[in-house]
Chains A and B, each alone.
Chain A
Amino acid sequence: MLADWPLLSLVVWTHIVGAVLVLLAGDRAGTGAKRIALAFALLTFALSIPLFTGFDRDTALMQFEERVPWIPTFDIYYHLGVDGISMPLILLTTFATVLVVIAGWEAIRERPAQYMAAFLIMEGLMVGVFSALDAALFYVFWEGMLIPMFLVIGMWGGPRRVYATIKFFLYTFLGSVLMLVALVYLYHKSGSFSILDYHQVPLGMREQLLIFLAFLVAFAVKVPMWPVHTWLPDAHVEAPTGGSVILAAIMLKIGAYGFLRFSLPITPDASAALDWLMILLSLVAVVYIGFVALVQEDMKKLIAYSSIAHMGLVTLGFFILYTIAERGEGLQGAALGIEGGLVQMISHGFVSGALFLCVGVLYDRMHTRLIRDYGGVVNSMPAFAAFAVLFAMANAGLPGTSGFVGEFMVILASFKANPWFSALAATTLILGAAYTLWLVKRVIFGPVANERVAALRDLNAREYVVLGALAVAVVAVGVWPDPLTEVMHASVENLVQQATTSKIQMLAVRP
């Protein structure tokens, strides 16, 4: 019954309807606006659950599809659908929305209604990005979601928020302009804006290379990959807690998702030709950024750099398949790498979100993010310390937490491609533990550093709920990741097939 509903549209538009209601209620409604926001966040989360339970695990075809003409003149359709790659990301988005709404309950005192509405709109657009199957629609959602994020950082951000927002906006916007060119070119070649048609359209090598590079700029900025990553630490530092959570948990995933939805299937030959570049940049992210994270003095910057390093493992997992194929021993390991990258994306959503929330908990009380202002927090906040250590361990990839699963899969898979890839990727075991646990040592453990730390009060009920929910998610995926990977298999198999089928030959066969 539920499967017949236009679930994806419901999830997208319920967010936005909720946002409108919250805005109408306005700040004068006080907690009323927040209650509406929470109700809608919970409702959309509930609506997204059937996407998981009703998902057919045996097919790589798009599911929950909706397709109606939108701008018939240009063959643009309002076309939504999910496969095993995008569906988990949608659930992650709706889950994160609930947490962000609860987390902003007290922390945001200025214009809370607008804050909540901005988030609801942003989440709706993000779900749209993950479910759009029409390139024009995708682009609208893709650019649209920048606006609320721009506002969130610009209005509720820290002292250098203007620099951060401009940097964030220009970086991501310049990236996407090239993507638009590529999308329009593909429309010209295939005669439709359907992403699924793009997957089938034959392309020559030169076209593919240009399209690949256009996509690369757009997605690499979002991921972000080295060397276009420097907007992220600034954006995180200035963003309010909720903004950081969404930025880290969802927005970074959109770039990585782009590689899977666009780059690999649309330009397989260019991907194969430039995979060395992708692997190189991924490994630089893991090692270089790992060292940079080590010496950060600001907690949020440290976690931001840690995010970049973790996303390096994601892109590594995606692009090792060509090296595996070149070895001529079959494609075993390719799907493991891609699924590993996907699991890492989901897990990073939980873990980095949780870490930013932890920093938020401290920031709300002490109004500083500098590591040296803390020390011995465990003495006054034992419950908080327990959560913080759990999430830190997950960030360091401890087995039994979600952080381990993706890391493990990618390291194992990349050994298939080249042991040295694996060895460089595995430095995350040492570097990740070093920067995360050194942070824990300096902030959480030790004697009470000053009176302000001594006066800290432990978590309140709301914080308990938010961190508790994330802790459950982190441990559940760590102990039993099978339900998560199970939904991916068919789509990933199909993707590996597409990514390793040359389009140049298709072109040659055509009359």
Chain B
Amino acid sequence: MRYVYLGIPLAPLLGAVIAGLFGAFWPRLGRTACHTVTILGVAVSFALSLVVLWEQTAGGGEPWNGAVYTWMVSDGIRFEIGFLIDRLTALMVTTVTFVSLMVHIYTIGYMHDDPGYNRFFAYIALFTFSMLMLVMSNNFLQLFFGWEAVGLVSYLLIGFWFRRESAIRANLKAFLVNRVGDFGFILGIAAVLAYFHSLDYADVFAAAPMARGLTMEIWPGVEWQVLTVICVLLFIGAMGKSAQVPLHVWLPDSMEGPTPISALIHAATMVTAGIFMVARMSPLYELSETALSVVLVVGAVTAFATGLLGLVQHDIKRVVAYSTLSQLGYMAVALGASAYAAAIFHLMTHAFFKALLFLAAGSVIIAMHHEQDMRKMGGLRRYMPVTYWTALVGALALIGTPGFSGFYSKEHIIEAVHGAQRWGAELAYWAVLAGVFVTALYTFRMFFLVFHGRERMDEHTRAHLRESPRVVTVPLVLLAIPSVAIGALTVEPLLFGGWFGEALRVAPEHDVLATLGARFQGAWAYALHAVQTPPFWLAAAGVATAAVVYLWRPALAGVAARLARPLYIALVNKYWADDFNEIVVAGGARALGRLLWKVGDVILIDGALVNGTARLVGMVAVVARQVQTGYLYHYAFAMLVGLLAFVSWLLALTR
């Protein structure tokens, strides 16, 4: 066991425990101490992550797979807590700790006046620990641990302002929708154990090819491939955590939480856990064409349908949230096309530029005194130059402007799915292609509404508008750098250099990235070439449309809404998904519960059986009591009759 590995998750945990326990029990441990200790923990973790990344990449380190401690032994199965350190892990821990560090620093500014300051730091440090345990795991048990632990912290943070009804509704909803996903996930894990007798990745992956062709009876006469069942069940878990349609409904509502965690948890890290999980399970998914098609189609629907929803939102954070949903759809599409490296690559670039966009949105929200409605913003460019330019970088990266990080990742997803030979690939290709236009449109709609155009805020707010403090802007700048540069720098090794090694396994016949790699001639040539491709022009058209509609001819938005009225109504109502859940699912469950309780328990069991038995006994007693008159001659008469009957019976017997 290398202490470096152990230090990565434990440093933030230590910070969380100190800030949490001491912050609560020992008020003299002030705010400064709380944020210092957690930031220090995450900083140490980030530094150690860099060491691991360096070792794995330049240092030529071999993957490390081993146990930390034995959680439990039962039925001859060892359930262990352990780490798998390979390049995939190294990349994930570095991304997670870097974004987390930025968010920690930013929080000093954002939560400055909040009474729950210490609690907030304890939570986000705990989150970092959980997320690290998730990505570093070498087995399904710990994966589930991390999976649920990040869900817990997400629950606590969405409901951080627990006096708000909307916040505590949102966190309950988030937890329950995720639990629906976990329902599938735990069954997937159970299936893995049932068929592989182990929960260790290494054992399962080694045995997986042998399980090919193995079927299980789902229903008498219906046989399904075991691997397909496992992969689809696991993906249901990913659909919850990574908010894929139809389990996407919790993510927009999660914006009730403070903005720093929207950036950290609901954009950069936790929601990508599902994507990471599928990539980690690539040795399993590669063996099931059906499961990959499911992933592909679900991803495609998510990418396109949720992007459209971003067009009609007025809350700045919700626009970014729907954008996150759509981008998660892109990642799922990449997974479904067997382009796992592209999915992880997009996960990384997205972590940087989406965290940047969220934190920029947060900076705007600070300046606007916690007003989030974009209809009351406008023209902020003049007041907040740093926020403006960093947000522009984030927006350009998001829409895939050639040269920016998002360009390299998204472009390759589109090309990969174009080359994929899989059921649903055609549909997915058109969805992600059309998604490019939608992305550009909602991104720059937001950008123009916030930073350009007429200043629509009230006088009081306008008078107080100013750039956010250093603790806010420095993380913005630090995140803007990778948002621009990380794509061009790493695209070649990550996608085509086989950088991930054995961590991501792709069957040769599925390897679409290899085909792309054969044509690839360097990052710059690729960016220059992009101007000849449809995505570039679609993005440009999106930006142009946004400029026309939201800067120059604002009346056009209303015209468009009238022209496409059914679509507009569907979008404003979020495809009625929330209504369906609220009325049919939640309402149905309550009605069923009430029925079973009032009819099943109260009327049938208690009324008929329990109290009914009591009544029956009572009635028998009423009858029997009549005999007990207390008159001696009644009893004597009864004795005589009895004796007579007995003697007759005896005689009848002996005859």
Chain A residues close to B by CB (< 8 Å):
167, 171, 227, 230-231, 288, 291-296, 332-336, 339-340, 376, 378-379, 382-383, 386, 389, 393, 398-400, 404-405, 408-409, 411-416, 419, 422-423, 426-427, 429-430, 433-434, 437-438, 441, 444-447, 479-482, 485-486, 489
Q: Tell me if B's interface is mostly helix, strand, loop or mixed.
A: helix
CA A448 to CA B180, docked complex, whole Å: 31
Residues of A close to B114: CB separation below 8 A: none
Sample of 16 further A-B pairs with CB below 8 A, known A288-B596, A412-B190: A227-B609, A332-B75, A336-B77, A339-B75, A383-B24, A399-B148, A405-B72, A408-B186, A411-B186, A412-B189, A423-B187, A437-B172, A437-B176, A445-B163, A447-B163, A482-B70
Other-chain contact of B610, A167, A382, A404, A480 (Cβ < 8 Å): A167
In the complex, chain B residues 170-210 whose Cβ is within 8 Å of any chain A Cβ: 172, 175-176, 179-180, 182-183, 186-187, 189-191, 193-194, 197
Partner of B179, one of A408, A412, A429: A429
B residues 352-366 touching A (CB-CB < 8 Å): none
- Cβ of B159 within 8 Å of any chain A Cβ, yes or no, is yes
Q: How far is the CA of A434 from the CA of B70 in the complex (A)?
A: 31
A-B contact count (CB 8 A): 150
Q: Is B152 an interface residue (CB 8 A)?
A: yes
Contact yes or no, A227 B605, CB < 8 A: yes
In the complex the two chains form, is B71's CB within 8 Å of A481's CB? Answer: yes
Find B186's partner among A383, A429, A434 (CB 8 Å cutoff).
A429
If A400-B145, A415-B194, A423-B187 touch, whether A332 touches B76 (CB-CB below 8 Å) is yes
Name the residue on A nearest B20 (C-beta).
Answer: A386
A residues within 8 A CB of B218?
A: 419
A399–B190 touching, CB < 8 Å:
no
Smallest beta-carbon distance B40→chain A, Å: 24
B residues 596-648 in Cβ contact with A at 8 Å: 596-597, 600-601, 605-606, 609-610
Given contact pairs A400-B149, A405-B72, A437-B176, A230 touches B194 in the complex (Cβ within 8 A): no
- Return 26 A-B CB contacts under 8 Å, by A number: A171-B610, A292-B593, A295-B590, A295-B593, A335-B74, A400-B148, A408-B141, A409-B74, A411-B186, A415-B194, A416-B193, A416-B194, A419-B190, A419-B191, A422-B190, A430-B180, A434-B179, A437-B172, A441-B168, A446-B163, A446-B168, A447-B163, A480-B71, A481-B71, A482-B72, A485-B73
Give the residue name and chain of the A residue nearest to B180 (CB): A430
Query: A328 to chain B: closest CB distance in Å?
Result: 14
- Contact of B496 with A by CB under 8 A: no
- Give Cα distance in the complex from A295 to B218, angstroms: 33
Interface presence of B216 (CB below 8 A): yes
Across-interface contacts of B168 in A (CB, < 8 A): 441, 445-446
Task: Tell me, yes or no, whether B649 is within 8 Å of chain A by CB.
Answer: no
Question: What chain B residues lie within 8 Å of A399 (beta carbons)?
Answer: 144-145, 147-149
**A333 in contact with B194 (CB, 8 Å):** yes
A130 to chain B, nearest CB (A): 22
Closest-CB distance, B442 to chain A (whole angstroms): 32
**Interfacial residues, chain B to chain A (CB-CB below 8 A):** 24, 69-77, 141, 144-145, 147-149, 152, 155-156, 159, 162-163, 165, 168-169, 172, 175-176, 179-180, 182-183, 186-187, 189-191, 193-194, 197, 216, 218, 589-590, 592-594, 596-597, 600-601, 605-606, 609-610
CA distance in complex: A479, B141 (Å): 12
Q: Given that A423-B187, A429-B179 are known contacts, is A482 also in contact with B152, CB under 8 Å in the complex? A: no
Report how far A153 CA is from B641 CA in the complex, Å.
48
Residues of B within 8 A of A415 (CB): 187, 190-191, 193-194
A482 CB contacts on chain B under 8 angstroms: 70-73
The distance in angstroms between the C-alpha atoms of A404 and B197, with both chains bound, is 20
Q: How far is the CA of A430 from the CA of B186 in the complex (A)?
A: 12
Which single member of A288, A386, A437, A444 contacts B175 (CB below 8 Å)? A437
Closest CB in chain B relative to A382 CB, distance in Å: 8
How far is A382 from B180 in the complex, measured between Cα atoms in Å? 30
Most buried by B among A376, A383, A444, A485: A485
Q: Shortest CB–CB separation between residue B262 and chain A, in angstroms? A: 19
Instruction: Determine if B187 and A419 form an interchain contact, defined as CB atoms under 8 angstroms apart.
Output: yes
Bound complex: CA A423 to CA B191 (Å): 11
A295 to B162 CA separation, bound complex (whole angstroms): 23
Alpha-carbon separation in the docked complex, A382 to B23 (Å): 13
> Is the beta-carbon distance between A334 and B75 smaller than 8 angstroms?
yes
B594 touches A336 (CB 8 A): no
Contacts of B70 in A (CB 8 A): 482
Cα distance, A231 to B605, chains bound together (Å): 10
| Alpha-carbon distance A159/B344, docked complex (angstroms) | 62
Q: How far is the CA of A244 from the CA of B93 in the complex (A)?
A: 46
CB neighbours (8 Å) of B69 from chain A are: 480
Q: Which residues of A contact B189 (CB under 8 A)?
A: 412
Residue of B nearest to A422 (CB): B190
Complex: how many Å from CA A405 to CA B159?
Answer: 26
Would you call B172 and A438 a contact (CB within 8 A)? yes
- Whether B197 lies near A332 (C-beta < 8 A) is yes
Q: How far is the CB of A503 from chain B (nearest CB, A)?
A: 24
Residues of A within 8 A of B190 (CB): 411-412, 414-415, 419, 422, 426
